């Protein structure tokens, strides 16, 4: 049996919104000379001007989208898990497509990108479990 999210189009739409916000910020950083010349933090981030602000924005967006998505669902923990998998899948696929086409082969060798992926997977599940427990109590 294949599990799909309760509202798959909404899940993908939220995933795309998260990715596009990061992409737009990345474009702004690349066209701003003062931001694009900030040196890399070895093993942590290749582009700290992109990664560090997104480290604040990404969890906020993920929490908001998760709570919005889970409003009408019955099994919030299971739906949240599927939502997190959707967030991760869409963002990972778009990141790979983007960075492989621009010949940036070491993009995924930095820690912050893996932290983002873990947050995309973990935050929805955590929020779903919390909401489900609070509704039962």
Task: Give a yes or no: residue 81 inside a domain.
Answer: yes
Mean pLDDT throughout 55-77?
93
Task: Give a yes or no: residue 61 inside a domain.
Answer: yes
Name the helix (H) or strand (E) containing 47: none
Task: Give a yes or no: residue 2 inside a domain.
Answer: no
Q: Which band of pLDDT confidence, cut at 50, 70 and 90, is reported for residue 1?
A: very low
Q: What value does the mean pLDDT of the chain take? A: 89
Query: If you write DSSP's letter for every residue of 102-125 in order, what string do you get?
Result: TT-TTGGGSHHHHHHHHHHHHHHH
pLDDT on residue 108? 66
- The structure's pTM equals 0.88
Split into its structural domains, the chain has a count of: 1
Task: Give a yes or no: residue 83 inside a domain.
Answer: yes
Task: Give a yes or no: residue 28 inside a domain.
Answer: yes
Mean pLDDT throughout 9-28?
94
């Amino acid at each position: 049996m294949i599990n799909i999210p309760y509202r798959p189009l909404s899940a993908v739409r939220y995933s795309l919104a998260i990715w596009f916000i990061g992409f737009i910020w990345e474009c702004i950083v690349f066209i701003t000379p003062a931001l694009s010349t900030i040196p890399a933090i070895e093993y942590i981030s290749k582009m700290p001007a992109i990664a560090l602000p997104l480290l604040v924005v990404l969890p906020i967006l993920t929490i908001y989208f998760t709570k919005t998505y889970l409003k009408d669902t019955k099994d919030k923990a299971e739906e949240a898990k599927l939502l997190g998998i959707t967030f991760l899948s869409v963002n990972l696929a778009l990141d790979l497509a983007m960075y492989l086409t621009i010949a940036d082969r070491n993009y995924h060798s930095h820690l912050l990108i893996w932290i983002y992926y873990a947050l995309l997977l973990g935050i929805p599940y955590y929020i779903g479990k919390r909401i489900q427990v609070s509704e039962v109590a």
